[in-house]
Amino acid sequence: MVDPAAIPRRHRSTATRVIDAQAVIAFAETTMVQILNDVGTRVWNLIDGKRTVAEIAGAVRGQLEADGYKSIPAELDTDLDAFFGELGAQGLITWSGSES
């Protein structure tokens, strides 16, 4: 479980372009290229080393509502939790502001 107060920061070796609402992330540490879906891209764009996980989750929810998403999945928070976990496991983000 990711600490909602934790602050994710993009790994310094990433480079990102958003193409058709999908973030294309080139990661020099692994030389892998990762593609994110629409929601993942929204999250990635909000990772600025200042916002907490809770703030990012709230902002994403707000964006989806503003963009007219009729049904925001009930499991959004769970999905985001897993997503942050995956980003961390891949080394694409580092953490500050908590012990995570």
Partner 1 sequence: METTTYRDIITKSFVESRPLNAQWELTFKCNHLCGFCYNAPSGQRELTTAEIKRGLEKIRELGVLYITLTGGEAMVRPDFFEICGHVRHLDFALRVYSNGYLIDEEKARRLKEVDTFEIEISIHGARAETHDRLTGIRGSFDRLIAGVGHLRKQRIRTILKCPITRLNQDELREIWDIARFFECSMSFDPVIMPRDDGDRSPLALSATKEFLVRFFSDEFKVLRHGADVKKRDDMGTMTNCGTGKVSFTIDPYGNIFPCVAWRRKWANIKDVENLAELWKSSEVLKQVRWAAEQIPQTTLKQSQSGEFCSFCPGVAERQTGSPFKMYPQAEAVADARLTAYTTKQAAQAVNTANRCIKHA
Query: Which residue ranges make up the site for partner 1 (CB under 8 A)?
Result: 12-13, 15-17, 19-20, 22, 24, 26, 28, 31, 33-37, 40, 83, 86
Say how far apart CA 54 and CA 42 lie, in whole Å: 14
Q: List phi, psi (to 5°) of 40.
A: -60, -40
Minimum Å distance from CB 82 to partner 1?
9
Between 5 and 21, name the residue whose CB sits nearer to partner 1: 21
Minimum Å distance from CB 5 to partner 1?
23
Between 7 and 25, name the residue whose CB sits nearer to partner 1: 25
Say how far apart CA 86 and CA 81 lie, in whole Å: 9
Say how far apart CA 1 and CA 21 lie, in whole Å: 27
